[in-house]
Amino acid sequence: ACGRPPMRPTLPAMKTAQIAPFFATLKAANPLPNTELEYTTVFELLAAVLLSAQATDVGVNKATRLLFPVANTPQAMLALGLEGLEAHIRTIGLYHSKARHLLQTCQMLLDLHGGGQVPRTRKELEALPGVGRKTANVVLNCAFGEPTMAVDTHIFRVSNRTGLAPGKTPLEVELKLLKRIPREFLVDAH
């Protein structure tokens, strides 16, 4: 079997007494952290995060700057149709499946969630096509201020390399981070 060996922490496990100063340093360097994705509504954030899988925030922003002025609601997105949506996001990787998922999500938001409201629970978010745990956590954190951790590749690596929350899977790292990060830093930790 080819592949890299499982990632091991390069530092010993971070001691509990080191965690608060670590996050205080991060907060001092970036007191009001924000996602780099550009959005003005919860629906736009959901759409942007859905589109961002396997893509850069820069590339997603480039596409959504043209998409959101013409379709920034589930109804407007559905009115574009598959070909219209694909035309707006074709610069983003995997745009065929992302367009399909986004349109299915729009329909579900209209049918199941108050005529297009983005749900506020992880379970309801994860039931939407193309929305996994990480996407749900980003929406819960950025849109609703929930103390969640969206463990992407970067958070996974930093958590392992610093010894803050070593783990073999993103879920394992997420659960450890939620236990180890002091409450006052948790909302902005990601």
Note the pLDDT tens digit of each residue in 44-61: 999 999 999 989 999 999
Both tokens of 45, joined, read 């954030």
Is 134 one of the catalytic residues?
A: yes
User: What is the predicted pLDDT for the residue at 102?
Assistant: 98
Task: Indicate which residue of 27, 111, 134, 188 is catalytic.
Answer: 134
Task: State the pLDDT at residue 9.
Answer: 44
Give me the residues of the chain with pLDDT under 70, please.
1-11
pLDDT for the residue numbered 122: 96
* Catalytic residue, candidates 62, 123, 152, 188: 152
Q: Using CA atoms in the order 111, 112, 118, 120, what is the torsion angle rounded to 10 degrees?
A: 180
Q: Is 57 a catalytic residue?
A: no
Its pTM stands at 0.89
Q: What confidence score (pLDDT) does residue 11 get?
A: 67
CA atoms of 71 and 73, how far apart (whole Å):
6
pLDDT at 1: 47
H-assigned helices in the chain? 16-29, 42-52, 57-67, 74-89, 95-112, 122-126, 133-144, 153-162, 170-180, 183-189
